[in-house]
Amino acid sequence: MAEPFTRAAIYLRISMDREMDGLAIDRQRADCLTIAETRGWAVVREYVDQSRSATDKTKRRPGYDDLVSGFEAGEFDAIICWDLDRLTRQPRQLEDWIDAAEARGLRLVTANGEADLTTDGGRLFARVKAAVARSEVERKTARQSAAQAQRAAQGRAPKGMRPVGYSVAGEIIEHEAEAVHAVFTAFNGGSSLRAIAAALSGETGERIPARVPALPRHTRTVTFERNSRRDEENKTLPPEKQRKLRPVPDEAPWPPSTVLGMLRNPRYAGYSTYTRKDGQLDGGKRRARRASILQGETGEPVRGQWKPIVDEGVWSSVQERLDSSERVTNRVGTDRRHLGSGLYRCGVCEQRVRGHTSRYRCAGHITRSREQIDAYVTAAIRARLACPDLADLLPNRNEPRLHEIKAEVGAHRAKIARAQRDYDAEVIEGRDLKRVRDHEEAAIKVLEAERLRLAANATAGAVLGAQDPVAAFDATDLGAQRAVIESLCQVRLHGHPRGVKAFNPDTVAIDWNK
């Protein structure tokens, strides 16, 4: 139906972002004009940005800025853009437009038909879309910083606090390395984190794994070392330039969480790591992330230049045991009546929320309406499942194949070892050794890339691997839906002002797993 007095602005943007090319301004304009024509809107102005990214807050987009001031000056009542990615990929800006749509009656439609901010459904879609877009950007940033870390890591151990077992320069510290090795062996043999921590702390007793030696607490050791380095430096400096020594933490038992950190550290298996910096999606809050394995161009793990302390096979089976025990003990638990109970976390204390009839609760922190949150999370999951790169995230634990890969990697390593022996025995030349090694290592890289892809959650695999993951998600049972959510993201609930009825998606933080 025609809406005769609507004045519309058209916003057009082309970007050099690779995923956005191929949609020239003329095509966008034609589609937008069709919308205006169909709705009977008068186009009063066109705003254009060329080659500007919508994701980077620091990059200026003059066309967009003019659009904002044009709206504030009341020059139009509707905006037409080709898709929401053209307009903005920043949830904050999108929220401003949604507010404008709600409060001032702005009409915002996209030519590709995906969002119409004049409807509830359109607004929900727009929010989910912006959240997903934002997370795509974060993933890209993570990949880029991974590339930088990779360059930096070549030949060098990562900076920062040294892990137990390695010096700052990445050399093995023998007695610590033995302890690390024993920790992995004990855990793989069924010891608990608590028992291992007790053994490291020098306790003795029945359940204490015997081969784990006592060690001073690592933070204490490291502080001593740092202080003595500083002390040496200070001797060469004038008094005003000398740096203060840090207080040494008291001797205390090892906490199980430190043992967990050791078991999770990929460096012990010789993998290079990086720690992702947080993006802005969850309101700038930072949270600890464990180091991830740095991956090369083809997804193969990047090797550090240091000597591994534990075998890769041991390391990955420890990860599998940790993953499954985390799932059993603190996650899903006994409370599985609702989509998010025991699964979503409290944004205040990080505990898993409990589900009640119509609410999710963390006592003393938050009480939220279940329906709104489940609708939002479900919409986000469905949008994620519809992403074309979903295959890259596929969890698909294929145990027999994992064993095959392990055996194949072993065979390739044996060939390298044999060539090395032949070289040492002067049977072959150095260039032959290099040729064999390059060849075998290339094959190992491919296998390891495959193993990384395979190592993931099995329950979710059925949905994620389906022909149509969105339909499979819709059709499956609650337990499998929960597994899908768990394998794709972490959901944190924040407080919501009392008495405010409108759902604010900023209060539900979805962090997509890498």
Q: Which residues contact Zn ion (rule: CB under 5 A)? A: 346, 348-349, 351, 362, 365
Token pair in block for residue 325: 């025990």
Q: Would you say 362 and 373 are in contact if contact means Cβ atoms under 8 Å apart?
A: no
Which residue number, 364 or 430, has a Cβ lying nearer to Zn ion?
Answer: 364
Which residue number, 281 or 346, has a Cβ lying nearer to Zn ion?
Answer: 346
Query: Which DSSP helix (H) or strand (E) runs through 81?
Result: strand 78-81
Amino acid symbol at 175? H
Which sign does the torsion angle of CA 494, 498, 499, 500 carry?
Answer: negative
The nearest distance, CB 350 to Zn ion, in angstroms, is 7
The nearest distance, CB 362 to Zn ion, in angstroms, is 3
Rg of the chain on CA atoms, in Å: 28
Which residue number, 3 or 350, has a Cβ lying nearer to Zn ion?
Answer: 350
Concatenate the DSSP letters of all residues of 218-237 into one string.
Answer: HHHHHHHHHHHHHHHHHHTS
- As a three-state string, the secondary structure of 43-77 is EEEEEEEECCCCCCCCCCCHHHHHHHHHHHCCCCC
Cβ neighbours of residue 288 closer than 8 Å, sequence gap 6 or more: none
Q: Would you say 370 and 355 are in contact if contact means Cβ atoms under 8 Å apart?
A: yes
Which sign does the torsion angle of CA 109, 113, 117, 118 carry?
Answer: positive
Which residue number, 264 or 365, has a Cβ lying nearer to Zn ion?
Answer: 365
The nearest distance, CB 346 to Zn ion, in angstroms, is 3
In whole angstroms, what is the distance from residue 485 CA to residue 482 CA? Answer: 5
Which residue number, 35 or 362, has a Cβ lying nearer to Zn ion?
Answer: 362
Instruction: Tell me if residue 313 falls in helix, strand or coil.
Output: helix
In whole angstroms, what is the distance from residue 73 CA to residue 90 CA? Answer: 23
The nearest distance, CB 502 to Zn ion, in angstroms, is 23
The nearest distance, CB 193 to Zn ion, in angstroms, is 23
Residue whose C-alpha is closest to residue 107's, from 133, 126, 91: 126
Which residue number, 27 or 365, has a Cβ lying nearer to Zn ion?
Answer: 365
Token pair in block for residue 298: 């083809």
Longest dimension (CA), the chain: 90
Which residue number, 293 or 348, has a Cβ lying nearer to Zn ion?
Answer: 348
The nearest distance, CB 373 to Zn ion, in angstroms, is 15
Which residue number, 324 or 351, has a Cβ lying nearer to Zn ion?
Answer: 351
Which residue number, 327 or 365, has a Cβ lying nearer to Zn ion?
Answer: 365
In whole angstroms, what is the distance from residue 507 CA to residue 346 CA? Answer: 11
C-alpha 484 chain-centroid distance: 15
For 57, phi then psi, to 5°, come to -65, -25
Which residue number, 9 or 362, has a Cβ lying nearer to Zn ion?
Answer: 362
CB atoms within 10 A of CB 470: 16
The nearest distance, CB 496 to Zn ion, in angstroms, is 14
Q: Measured in Å, how far apart are the chain's first and last C-alpha atoms?
A: 45
Which residue number, 349 or 502, has a Cβ lying nearer to Zn ion?
Answer: 349
Which sign does the torsion angle of CA 147, 170, 181, 290 carry?
Answer: negative
Which residue number, 366 or 405, has a Cβ lying nearer to Zn ion?
Answer: 366
The nearest distance, CB 289 to Zn ion, in angstroms, is 20
Burial classification of residue 32, based on how many CB atoms lie within 10 Å of its CB (0-12 exposed, 13-18 middle, 19 or more buried):
buried
The nearest distance, CB 492 to Zn ion, in angstroms, is 10
Which sign does the torsion angle of CA 383, 384, 386, 388 carry?
Answer: positive
The nearest distance, CB 493 to Zn ion, in angstroms, is 9
The nearest distance, CB 361 to Zn ion, in angstroms, is 9
